[in-house]
A and B are shown apart, each in its own frame.
Chain A
């Protein structure tokens, strides 16, 4: 047979990446590879990627991914620079590879926490169960080329008080990290997970992380996510969440650094009486681009979702917010609130904001709104008339604006750490 296959750009991109060694379903991997062969990087003609250009990711020269040496780091380095709190467990990954030498902590009772490379086929049977591959090249790439990631399974009724910290470091030039996390919270269980992303001497590197989350009946999960990979690096993150009845899921996404950041939050609310909270802050400068795409799909009645995203854009940075809330036909008595606020600090900064509601039920309470503005110049003058410099006056107002969503973070250590990064990068005091 004489086949003429025109390979996609994605196929060329992954050519040098080693196929996943994880014990995941072979058929799933084959399906992912097939998707990659026939699908190209999305362009701005694709609605979901209308405002986010991926050319710079596609242009990464991906040869020489193998045999990289890990950075010479100690636990002390992790502790002093990246660890958000000393409490709980800390797991460190470098370019998607688990670094047991840098990870530490006492394993709590009632939880199985280990890297995916150490998981059995049975444990990983859940992988890809509700993740779309078709037309989703980054999901497909992650499935076919995942190096490692964290497997967190909390037993029924287990309450894990101390946070589980996952620290992801990228290092080196043109590094591609496909990272896959599995999080299962058992019935009546409770846990808090911190995911933080940093760059260490990295350049033109790309992180593609997929986290699959199952929150069982009456379980509580909070994810605090911090994106602080340096400028010049690219990051795409997808959270696929399945909520069972009476459960609570909260995610706080702080995007403070990185040249291109895209977050896909797909929350399927599959049970009654659920609570879903999505909060996000993006504070950008230079040429940064941060795109938050969220979907909350209310399939069952008597649920509540609260979504608040706020952004501050300076210099030539750009932001995208696209929040979609679905309320299905039988999902009555839903309270869904969605709000996006933006402040543009320069004439060259911009935001594309699109809050969307699709409601098929008739007894619901939903609202959505989006605001974009500049700082109130009258207020700046008022502060200056009290002896405050123009710079501090603007900082005072911008930090007050963003603090509204940053303080949704309940974990004090994570909140303080976020504040310290805002101080480091923007010079703001809180």
Chain B
């Protein structure tokens, strides 16, 4: 699905990613954990195409395409989805209008027909139920006046609507209470299929009780320094990151 090789990225002349390698196959869930400042959110931003970051080295292959050559919108149209850590409020733009535009532009890109109003509304009803999002929120302005939990549920709702190949959840669990966390995780699990893949970026092991990863990676100092089975997350929760830092720094 995605193969990242020796990725170097910097912002304002400061190198954040320093040779990152990662491969995620269809049907897999990968968790990326790591201490603050390790480069977790930078990785998400770079993959989504934020222009502030400069890619100095490396390659990203996304389902046979050179991802780094694509614009942000084309990455989304090719099936990459980023659930934002801090979803943006857009006053005046209704969630519904936004999603219809989004769906239709993606369809247009793929040479498919526009979705009918009837089918669209049916899809909204079906997918909003998945994350228990009030139908009223669907017609309000994008994220405006939403609570933290509602914003995150809205991200997963959008993910469900767009049905991406690869989803990157950037700290989707931060700021969520246990009920909201369960709803969000449930939504993600229901969307899982052998054809798609998920990268879960998180600080806490808690989310991984609900979204069970196939592989856990530790990102430290701009590189993946350790990978292991889901039990690695528990070990990190228990022992913190210092032992990994020490291990890496010793090398």
A residues near B, CB below 8 A? 376, 378-379, 381-390, 392, 396-397, 400-401, 403-404
Contact = CB atoms under 8 A, between A and B. Distances in A.
A389 B73 contact: yes
Q: Which of A382, A385, A389 neighbours the largest number of chain B CB atoms within 10 Å of its CB?
A: A385
Contacts of A381: 50, 72, 88
A383 to B, nearest CB: 7
A400 B88 contact: no
A365 B159 CA distance: 46
Contact of B158 (A386, A400, A401): A386
A277 to B, nearest CB: 20
A392 B91 CA distance: 16
A400 B90 contact: yes
B90 A379 contact: yes
Contacts of A403: 92
A263 B240 CA distance: 67
Nearest to A382: B88
Contacts of B109: 387
A389 B90 contact: no
Interface in B93-111: 93, 97-99, 101-103, 105-106, 109
Contacts of A383: 90, 93, 98, 102
The 6 A-B pairs of least Cβ separation, nearest first, read: A400-B92, A387-B76, A382-B88, A384-B72, A386-B102, A387-B106
B106 A400 contact: no
Contact of A385 (B82, B89, B103): B82
Interface of B: 48-50, 71-73, 75-77, 82, 84, 87-93, 97-99, 101-103, 105-106, 109, 141-142, 158, 162
10 contacts: A376-B88, A382-B90, A382-B142, A383-B98, A384-B49, A387-B73, A387-B109, A389-B105, A400-B93, A401-B92
Contacts of A389: 73, 105
A271 B71 CA distance: 60
A385 B48 contact: yes
B102 A388 contact: yes
Given A382-B88, A400-B90, A387 B97 contact: no
Contacts of B162: 386-387
Contacts of B105: 387-389, 392
Given A385-B49, A386-B98, A388-B105, 18 more contacts: A382-B88, A383-B90, A383-B93, A384-B71, A385-B48, A385-B75, A386-B76, A386-B99, A387-B73, A387-B162, A388-B101, A388-B102, A390-B73, A396-B97, A397-B90, A400-B91, A400-B92, A400-B141
Contacts of B158: 386
B41 to A, nearest CB: 14
Given A385-B82, A386-B162, A396 B76 contact: no
Contacts of A384: 49, 71-73, 76
A386 B77 CA distance: 8
Q: Which of B82, B91, B103, B158 neighbours the largest number of chain A CB atoms within 10 Å of its CB?
A: B91
A376 B93 CA distance: 13
Contacts of B142: 382
B interface majority secondary structure: helix
Contacts of A379: 88-90
A385 B46 CA distance: 12
Given A381-B72, A382-B84, A387 B92 contact: no
B100 to A, nearest CB: 10
B150 to A, nearest CB: 16
Contacts of A392: 101, 105
A396 B87 contact: no
A429 B71 CA distance: 24
A403 B141 CA distance: 13
B106 to A, nearest CB: 4
A403 B93 CA distance: 10
Contacts of B90: 376, 379, 382-383, 397, 400
Contacts of A382: 84, 87-88, 90, 142
Contacts of B102: 383, 386-388
Q: Which of A387, A388, A392, A396 neighbours the largest number of chain B CB atoms within 10 Å of its CB?
A: A387
Contacts of A404: 92
Q: Which of A376, A386, A390 neighbours the largest number of chain B CB atoms within 10 Å of its CB?
A: A386
Nearest to B76: A387
Contacts of A386: 76, 98-99, 102, 158, 162
B200 to A, nearest CB: 18
A409 B158 CA distance: 33
A385 to B, nearest CB: 5
A392 B48 CA distance: 18
A111 B91 CA distance: 44
Contact of B73 (A378, A388, A397, A401): A388
A396 B101 contact: yes
Contact of B72 (A378, A385, A400, A401): A385
Contacts of A397: 90, 92-93
A384 B97 CA distance: 14
A378 B98 contact: no
B128 to A, nearest CB: 16
A160 to B, nearest CB: 34
Contacts of B97: 396
A397 B91 CA distance: 8
A58 B240 CA distance: 77
A389 B101 CA distance: 10
A379 to B, nearest CB: 5
Contacts of A396: 93, 97-98, 101
B84 to A, nearest CB: 7
A109 to B, nearest CB: 43
A275 to B, nearest CB: 26
